[in-house]
Amino acid sequence: MSAVKDLIGQAVDRLGDELEALSRQIHDNPELAYQEVKAAGWLSDFLAQQGFKVERGVAGVETAFRGTIETGQGPTIAILCEYDALPQIGHACGHNVIATAGAGAGAALAAVRERLPKGRIQVIGTPAEEGGGGKVKLIQGGVFRDVDAAMMIHGFDRWILHQDLLGIVRVGFEFSGKAAHASADPWEGVNALDAVIQTFNNVSMLRQQMRPDARIHGIVTHGGAAPNIIPEMAACTFYVRAAKLDYMWELHRRVVACAEGAARATGCTLSTIDKEAPYEPLKRNDTLLDLFRANMQAVGAQELPAPDRLGSSDIGNVSQVIPAIQPMVQIAPSGTPIHSRAFEAAAVTPLARQGMCQAAKTMAMTTYDLLADPGLVKRARAEFDART
């Protein structure tokens, strides 16, 4: 087993320059959710060149793909890629590294195909993590139906095995009022912007009674046309997060009540718009994490304690249907916040290349362990079934 793992590491090293170039290409051409045509194409082409059978547009999602290598009857292990960018600040979440680490892991396994145990390896391209719920659509489309276990990594400022992710639901509010001249006869108007502002005030008062592992945050998406016109339409969007789904939905109801109260207070009409699919919390799987830890240490990475930072991702939805993990990989200097311009710049540095290659080796080795010992797959499933 160690001999094959040595070959896996050597394969990643040989591919290092090509993977780095692909990472930078994706980084320098940021594409938003469901618009990742270039990134999906480049990744699909790369996997096809490594010998994968590549299906494009899986589950009816144009920018999703699935590359498959089969070596016989055995477990199906999936390695996931993300490659969408953020509005305005590009790859400030490091999805270019997530994508190329996943593709690199698959390529390394393809390089030792003749020495792999029986089973199936899939590299699955999952678009639209940044709010679009791409993995949710792939779940609904049956992409994970025959997958026994899945893994991916995420860029961070340190290596950690597991970080609790919050469930998230997104909700938008549109308020309709009545336009009037803001100076000549403002009493004739119904101010929709007042309703938005009152909604924010109501939510701010709600926060005092929230549990510490919950978050609510929002932005104004439309605030009026001109200062001298009473806004007849205004809108805002809120994200509601919590560690438990039942509490998330309770908070969602209370945020909606905040907007309803603002509408009544201002005399506006309210339309509530639920956006995309909710994201679920990440279900821990120590069987998979222990394998990842051993291989992570073998490639020279050092695990650090998880910080008290709480985010959300649709990998949580995958972890609720099959055993799945998302360790965090250092690609930026310690203390660099994600979703920042500093993290976007860090995602194409030598440190990012190092993290990408170490992550590719670790995922490939962990996949090999699962193929070599199907009992580990069964143990991961038993833990999944037992954990609430």
Superfamily of domain 2-164+282-386: Zn peptidases (3.40.630.10)
**Are 2-164+282-386 and 167-278 the same fold in CATH?**
no
| Contacts with 91 (C-beta within 8 Å, 6 or more apart), sequence order | 26, 27, 30, 85, 344, 347
- Spatial separation of the C-alpha atoms in residues 189 and 231, rounded to whole Å: 8
* pTM recorded for the entire structure: 0.87
Q: What is the model's pLDDT at position 113?
A: 96
CATH of range 167-278; options 3.40.50.261, 3.40.50.620, 3.30.70.1450, 3.30.70.360: 3.30.70.360
pLDDT tens per residue across all 388 residues of the chain: 689 999 999 999 999 999 999 999 999 999 999 999 999 999 999 999 999 999 999 999 999 999 999 999 999 999 999 999 999 999 999 999 999 999 999 999 999 999 999 999 999 999 999 988 999 999 999 999 999 999 999 999 999 999 889 999 999 999 999 999 999 999 999 999 999 999 999 999 999 999 998 999 999 999 999 999 999 999 999 999 998 889 999 999 999 999 999 999 999 999 999 887 899 999 999 999 999 999 999 999 999 988 876 789 999 999 999 999 999 999 999 999 999 999 999 999 999 999 999 999 999 999 999 999 999 999 999 999 998 7
What residues does each domain of the chain span?
2-164+282-386, 167-278
Note whether 177 and 197 are within 8 A (CB): no
Q: What is the model's pLDDT at position 274?
A: 87
Q: What is the DSSP string of 240-299?
A: EEESSHHHHHHHHHHHHHHHHHHHHHHT-EEEEEEEEEEEPPPPP-HHHHHHHHHHHHHT
